[in-house]
Amino acid sequence: MTGNDSILTAELFGLWFVVSDVLLLATLLWLFDVVTWVWPAGTVAVIGALFGLWVGLRWRRLDRADDSLDSIERIKHRYTTGEISEAALEARLEEHLDPKRDG
């Protein structure tokens, strides 16, 4: 797993600090009766939804990458147990690693 393969990236963490400033501003505006309570509540809802969407999409992408690695491990296991030949192993690994390859 590389540094970019985590659910919470450094970019998202930095963006969270920027967004928290927006939330703080909306709350202060509400406290000083410049806006109604709907603005801070809406800000929290939108920020929470976007954050949840980001985490969900990252989780899904990383889960698919794990499934891909699992299938490579299954192919290797089938080779080590003698189910498939070395040529079949190489062909399946090439097919798995480069599915757009014309063959």
Specify if 29 maps to a domain. yes
pLDDT at 68: 61
Q: How many domains does the chain have?
A: 1
In a domain, 59, yes or no: yes
Is residue 5 included in any domain, yes or no? no
What is the structure's pLDDT at 33? Answer: 92
Q: Which amino acid is at 68?
A: S
Question: pLDDT tens string for the chain (103 positions)?
Answer: 444 566 667 877 788 788 888 888 988 999 999 999 998 899 889 888 988 898 888 888 877 766 666 777 888 878 888 888 888 888 888 887 776 655 4
Print the domain residue range for 27: 10-97
In a domain, 1, yes or no: no
Helix, strand, or coil (residue 33): coil
Up-side HSE of residue 62: CA atoms within 13 Å toward CB?
Answer: 15
